[in-house]
Amino acid sequence: MEEMITSFDGTKLYLNREISEGNKAVAVVVHGLCEHQGRYDYFAEQFHKAGIGTYRFDHRGHGRSEGERTYYSDYNELLDDTNVVVDLAMSENPGLPVFLIGHSMGGFTVSLYGAKYPDKGLRGIVTSGALTKDNGGLITSVPKDLDPHTKLPNQLGSGVCSVAEVVDWYGKDPYNTQTFTTGLCYAICNGLEWFTETVSAFRYPVLMLHGEKDGLVSVQDTYDFFAAAASEDKQMKIYGGLFHEIFNEYCRDEVIGDALAWIENRI
């Protein structure tokens, strides 16, 4: 079911809720920069086949949600929007384990979420190509003296995936954005600084996934996060030869299967 929900500050977020009777768990899926929840249709289908319901939403300023396009004034907007959806998933599915899954900027979001909301009761968190330190300089290299509403060109396309069809559709997808703001970059930089000081508060069970040839978010981000997280239950898998969007790569079924297997072992 697709609808608009109201976030913590009144901003309307586009939500795609896909749950059914008999679900054994639910997962909140958090997308990345300049994209939208619809790019995770295949991913969600595999979860539904496994009996896991999904809640997918468009970040504010992305897809069909309200807000200035790709603009944030504070990284907490990302975390607190996600919290609204997590609360909804928990309230609508009492007794079912809830998992949080994030890719790229969504990985940034769910990682910081785990440190900000350590007692939420999530059964586990899965990250994919998560921006947790920006060793590659994707965001932190943006000049700091620009107007925060300045728009920068989205040049991520060719680096998102090794599958040509995925790259081609990425550029044509009407719900993807062709620019992103410096304000978003500044907000994420502030969040990365905060996370450096608070990563030890991250204690959730976590599975960290990353493509070894990710040219957008350095695989070193995941190595660093894995070393710093205080979780007793933490696993990491690096996929040799894969680019940034591991859930869309040629071996996506293997990658999605790994995430599903990890989740099912914690239900």
Residues 150-201 have pLDDT tens digits of 999 887 656 788 888 887 867 788 889 989 999 999 999 999 999 999 999 9
**Percent of the chain surpassing pLDDT 70:** 99
Of residues 148, 222, 214, the one with CA closest to residue 185: 148
Of residues 158, 163, 188, 167, the one with CA closest to residue 77: 188
CA atoms of 267 and 14, how far apart (whole Å): 28
Collapsed DSSP state (helix, strand, coil) of residue 249: coil
- Grade residue 56 by pLDDT with cuts at 50, 70 and 90: very high
Tokens of 58: 């468009």
CATH for 2-264?
Answer: 3.40.50.1820
Length of the chain: 267
pTM: 0.96
Beta strands in 31-106 (DSSP E): 52-57, 98-103
* Residue 256 contacts residue 247 (beta carbons within 8 Å): yes
Q: Side chain identity at 86, as an amino acid letter?
A: V
Tokens of 29: 């899926």
